[in-house]
Amino acid sequence: MREVNFSIPNGNKASVYITATLYDRRALDCTSTLPLINSLNHLAYLTTSSARIRDILTVDGGVERLVCILKEGRSRDEMHMWKWNLAFQCVVNIGVRGTEPVRTRVVEADMVPVIASILHDYTLVVERERQKLDSDRQRNPAKTKTNGPRSARLPRDLAQEQTIRGSFLEHQMTNSEARQGRRQAPPPSLELAQPFADRLAAGEPSQTAPLPPPPPTVLTSPPERTTFNRPVLQHQNRSHDSRDAFDRDANAGPSTGVPNNADGFSLRPVRDIDRLPSMVPPLNSAIPSNPESPTTPSAPPTQRGMLSPAGRRLRRPSIRHQLSNDDVHMEDVDTIVEDTVVEQEATDTRDRTDPDDGEVTPRATTRDDEERDPLSLTIPGTLPPNEDNVDIAQQTPTAATALESLLTQAENEDGNSPAVNGPQPTASPLPPPLNTYSNFFLRNPQTNSAIVPLMPRDDDVLMGLQLLAYISKYCDLRHYFQATHLVPRLRIDREVEKAYGPAPEAEPLGEPTEDELEEYLQPDDVNIFPLVEKFTVPHHSKDMQSWACVVMRNLCRKDDARGGTRQCANYKCGKWEDFPKQFAKCRRCKRTKYCSKECQRDSWNLSDTSADNGKRLVDAAIKYGFLYISPEGTLFTESLVQSQFDLSKQFFAQPISEKEKYKIGTDNRGFTGMHNEILDPSKDSKEFKEAFNMGEFNDDRMPQQNMPPWLATGENLEQLRNFEEACRTTCNRVLDLIGIGLEVEDGVDWFSRRHGRPSGCTVRLLHYPSLPEGTDYSLDTDVRAGAHSDYGSITLLLQRPSQPGLEIHPPGRSDIWSPVPVFPSGYHSTTFPPILVNIGDLLSYWTSGLLRSTVHRVIFPHDTKAGEDRYSIAYFNHPLDDAELVAVPSRIIREHKESLQRNGAGVEEENEHGYGGGMTSERAMTAKEHLMKRLGATYKHRVER
Ligand SMILES: O=C(O)CCC(=O)C(=O)O
Ligand SMILES: [Fe+2]
């Protein structure tokens, strides 16, 4: 009997493959996953150890091919995942370790959208997890309250997780030493982990050839987790399009062999003729890094891409996206294989001493490194009208209009922040505990398990940021970072929606259209810098923060090719200086430069939870107790706020008899009518306002008070819930920023952890009617709301565009009032005002008076007696009822208390810090006791019905 006349070749080998001693470009075109993994595994080693291989990969289309593999997206299939990880690692190796021309080629090969997509996906999950956590806290405060500091638990979880997940980093990225000098050992021939091998072997015609035993070390990371399913697409890899036939000759060059090199490295060197223009060293300075060349895949940004039928830019696939088979003439093949045998280089000095490395290696973050913006960006400071007032942006004296003064007080002529009450917290180094807020969303054991496999790994983010740090420093490449797009097949928006439900206030995502899946149809409307900035915050790992900070610093680099000018640090603006040193530098960080005050303000919003922002917020809270935040980065949308005001109008339009059915009780919930409340008992004045207090909803999101049925049902109820959620989550963000700014040692979520249910949180609808003709109103004594400070931790105030009236005492001046405009000068919207945040008594008390609970009031407009009705909505944020007002573990607070004691100061003067005073003893009052005490004072003077 004849034996079967076939045998199984070594299961891991393709006919053309890459090993530790052989590089063959065609191996990357392999369509079979396993052999490709094998080749990529070795390529990961080669790209680490050999500058020549990196060089060659940029001329033979290897980089583009790798990018194509990445753009195909990831699938749940473990092997695909493994392949993706390896390809990613190879590109990162090339970009991080390569020379400037090599890095340029990595950018030109369109790697930036891949990184943007990774960062986008990761932050998407972070955001949803954070929202989930916020609402869990709200629903189940006991859990979040008693579990101790979450942030203290998490690093352990992280450590465990990292041992499982960190192999890529261990392999390549964990320390800069390894990056800069140490050569990794060549990988052993990749063998399959047994389960994969078994699976793969199942159904094979012959099981007789035993698989070799597993190697002692496997340097690449097996897929430690799976990813989401993606449709298998025929044309997902544009490298398989053969539409760029005109480029074939250009690619054929590198495929020819050359004899052994004198340095003992038998790989042929790259000839200049084979290089892309951006790679030719002598020409490099003279030509842009993205020349218009038939051999260059991407044209400069202005011309980049052809127009699609829809008029959008077609992102032309790289010529090197083609299979190398297309590029290589068959007669060359033998020679290529023979001549691309490489021996391991004995030394590669470029790997060890990359002159560029020093420039981008992140330093330990110090306070000086933190970029800070002047307080004037967002903070309605106040200034007595008789004081000189200098506009810092224009450096010219301005009329001391209240509006201007509110925005300019924060910095003096020199741009230095004026002295603040209490110690300047800016002089201290960043404390390590900031990092213990590490990724609390993602490493929370309750993290949606369905989503964990979907999101990029921490390692992917870290590698992406690291690569960006190395490539973003080249100013002529900056447009690639400021105008990029997301790769449709890498995006996980729909999977995230499935796992978490539709995003609040967002339309559910339907099935993707064909256009949405076509990468070349995506507009270049994504700026990578805002994405990166999200990783500068303390709740990401220290490494992520460091690399992200390097990238952000690169944004502010001066461009020598433009005569040493810099770009406005507001990435939405992007304006360049007309001449060096035109834009004023932030006096505090000595680094950031903005073209205008507007840009400074615009670039600050709540989604930026960096230490810098926390510091600025705390500075404002110390000095003014009031600040604006932009609704961007919160759950507030213009329509949500508008509909809440509509409900408010509807409520107050009811006859008084109807409203009085919901009269306020001692629980502080319900309706309070005209002249009923006296906020400033020291004055014999009437208050022309009515209000409706809505306390927090219960676990089923139902009101816990008597409410008009039309308001507490159906869409209106849903709307109230959404509004309340926006308020609560915004407050938690602000509290976290305060935790960051105060460098709280027990986790920066120290304050927000102490908020949840049950609490005294209240949404208050306010109506200040216009005065009827012939009223007995007295301009001198009567007000809409008397002077008071708020009782809780923080208050959010939402106002309507044409309805001003709020006034505050400026710092140290309890004898005068300064108006707080609805829109600060230069604000970007005229219809959707920013949210005003003010510090309440409780937070002032909690921080020993360091944060200022500012006295404020609402007056009738001076210009007209009657004015128009004023509607406003306040959200009074309170801690958990039984949260103890114990000392905040913060060096800044401790120092403040010490300085108070040194100066013999007790409780601050009432008018300086509201009526709550400062906590000077350690006695622990609960939040509820504090609230009752404060409400008691008000109720005492209140006319009870
Ligand atoms: O209506 C306003 O603008 C302020 C209201 C206020 O301060 C309060 O209700 O505590
Ligand atoms: Fe208030």
Is the predicted pLDDT of residue 425 greater than 60, yes or no? no
The top-scoring range by mean pLDDT among 108-122, 156-170, 237-251, 891-905 is: 108-122
Is 708 in a helix, a strand, or coil?
coil
Confidence of residue 678 (pLDDT cuts 50, 70, 90): low
Task: Tell me the CA distances in angstroms from 327 to 61, 219, 317, one per residue in order.
Answer: 10, 32, 15
Q: Which ligand is nearest to the CA of 762?
A: 1
Instruction: Average the pLDDT over each of 357-366, 426-435, 718-727, 930-939 and give the range with the smallest value.
Output: 426-435
Q: Return the exposure string of 519-558: e unless at least 16 CB atoms fall within 10 Å of the residue's CB, then b.
A: bebbebebbbbbbbbbbbbbbbbebbbbbbbbbbbbbbeb
Among 676, 765, 766, the mutation site with the greatest number of ligand 1 atoms within 8 A of its Cβ is 766
Q: What percentage of the chain exceeds 70 in pLDDT?
A: 55
Confidence of residue 56 (pLDDT cuts 50, 70, 90): very high
Confidence of residue 438 (pLDDT cuts 50, 70, 90): very low
Instruction: Average the pLDDT over each of 427-436, 476-485, 550-559 and give the range with the smallest value.
Output: 427-436
Q: Which ligand is nearest to the CA of 691?
A: 1
Digit-coded pLDDT (tens) for 738-788: 998 898 987 778 898 899 889 999 999 999 988 766 666 666 667 788 888
Rounded to whole angstroms, how far apart are CA atoms 571 and 560?
A: 19
Among 806, 836, 857, 860, the mutation site with the greatest number of ligand 1 atoms within 8 A of its Cβ is 806
- Whole-number Å distance, alpha carbon 794 to ligand 2 midpoint, is 10
Is the predicted pLDDT of residue 322 greater than 60, yes or no? no
Q: What pLDDT does residue 753 have?
A: 87
Atom of ligand 1 nearest to the CA of 806: 3
**Cα–chain center distance at 808:** 33
Q: What percentage of the chain exceeds 90 in pLDDT?
A: 24
Q: Which residue has the higher pLDDT, 686 or 616?
A: 616
Query: For the residues 643-649, what does the mean pLDDT come to?
Result: 96
Q: Which ligand is nearest to the CA of 873?
A: 1
Atom of ligand 1 nearest to the CA of 805: 3
Rounded to whole angstroms, how far apart are CA atoms 885 and 822?
A: 33
Please identify which residue in the block is written with the tokens 């005065």: 771
Instruction: Average the pLDDT over each of 1-10, 86-95, 408-417, 764-773 and give the range with the smallest value.
Output: 408-417
Give 218's contacts (C-beta < 8 A, 6+ positions apart).
Answer: 187, 188, 190, 191, 193
Q: Return the exposure string of 459-495: e unless at least 16 CB atoms fall within 10 Å of the residue's CB, then b.
A: bbbbbbbbbbbbbbbbbbbbbbbbbbbbbbbbbbbeb
Interface confidence (ipTM) of the complex: 0.99
**Local structure of residue 534 (DSSP, 8 states):** G
Q: Which amino acid is at 370?
A: E
- Whole-number Å distance, alpha carbon 669 to ligand 2 midpoint, is 16
Is 550 in a helix, a strand, or coil?
helix
Confidence of residue 641 (pLDDT cuts 50, 70, 90): very high
Ligand 1, atom 9: nearest CA belongs to which residue?
874
Using only the alpha carbons of the chain, give its radius of gyration: 32
Rounded to whole angstroms, how far apart are CA atoms 764 and 797?
A: 10
- Whole-number Å distance, alpha carbon 785 to ligand 1 midpoint, is 7
Confidence of residue 871 (pLDDT cuts 50, 70, 90): very high
Task: Tell me the CA distances in angstroms from 670 to 283, 654, 665, 763, one per residue in order.
Answer: 76, 14, 7, 10
Q: The tokens of 783 are what?
A: 């007000």
C-alpha angle with apex 831: 829 to 832, nearest 5 degrees? 75
Q: What pLDDT does residue 608 have?
A: 57
Q: What pLDDT does residue 847 have?
A: 93
Supply the mean pLDDT for the chain.
Answer: 66
Does pTM top 0.90 for this prediction?
Answer: no
- Whole-number Å distance, alpha carbon 452 to ligand 1 midpoint, is 43
**Local structure of residue 604 (DSSP, 8 states):** -
As a whole number of Å, the end-to-end CA separation of the chain is 108
Among 795, 808, 817, 853, the mutation site with the greatest number of ligand 1 atoms within 8 A of its Cβ is 795
Q: Which amino acid is at 638?
A: E
Q: What is the DSSP string of 83-120?
A: HHHHHHHHHHHHHHHS-HHHHHHHHHTT-HHHHHHHHH
- Whole-number Å distance, alpha carbon 859 to ligand 2 midpoint, is 12
Q: Which helix (H) or strand (E) holds 397?
A: strand 396-397
Q: Residue 264 forms beta bridges with which residues?
A: none
Digit-coded pLDDT (tens) for 811-859: 788 888 888 989 887 777 788 899 999 999 999 989 999 999 989 999 8
- Whole-number Å distance, alpha carbon 790 to ligand 2 midpoint, is 5
Confidence of residue 447 (pLDDT cuts 50, 70, 90): low
Is the predicted pLDDT of residue 44 greater than 80, yes or no? yes
Q: Which ligand is nearest to the CA of 869?
A: 1
Stated length of the chain: 945
Digit-coded pLDDT (tens) for 493-523: 888 888 888 876 567 777 787 777 788 888 8
Rounded to whole angstroms, how far apart are CA atoms 825 and 802?
A: 14
Q: What pLDDT does residue 615 have?
A: 84
**Beta-carbon-side half-sphere exposure of residue 91 (alpha carbons within 13 Å):** 35
Ligand 1, atom 8: nearest CA belongs to which residue?
874
Query: For the residues 547-553, what does the mean pLDDT come to?
Result: 83
Among 795, 872, 877, the mutation site with the greatest number of ligand 1 atoms within 8 A of its Cβ is 872
Q: What pLDDT does residue 937 have?
A: 61
Sign of CA dihedral 14, 18, 22, 26: positive
Ion ligand 2, residues whose Cβ is below 5 A away: 790
Is the predicted pLDDT of residue 314 greater than 70, yes or no? no
Q: What is the DSSP string of 511-526?
A: PPPHHHH-GGGS-S-B
- Whole-number Å distance, alpha carbon 856 to ligand 2 midpoint, is 6
Ligand 1, atom 3: nearest CA belongs to which residue?
806
Q: What pLDDT does residue 571 have?
A: 62
Query: For the residues 221-243, what does the mean pLDDT come to?
Result: 34
Query: For the residues 80-107, what does the mean pLDDT come to?
Result: 94
Q: Which amino acid is at 456?
A: P
- 909 φψ region: left (φ > 0), alpha (ψ -120 to 50), beta (else): beta
Instruction: Average the pLDDT over each of 39-53, 262-276, 374-388, 635-649 and give the range with the smallest value.
Output: 374-388
Q: Residue 695 forms beta bridges with which residues?
A: 762
- Whole-number Å distance, alpha carbon 632 to ligand 2 midpoint, is 23
Give the binding-site residues of ligand 1, using a 6 Å CB cut-off: 764, 766, 785, 790, 797, 806, 856, 858, 872, 874
Q: Which helix (H) or strand (E) holds 672?
A: strand 670-672
Is the predicted pLDDT of residue 807 greater than 70, yes or no? yes
C-alpha angle with apex 584: 582 to 589, nearest 5 degrees? 135
Q: What pLDDT does residue 195 have?
A: 34
- Whole-number Å distance, alpha carbon 589 to ligand 1 midpoint, is 35
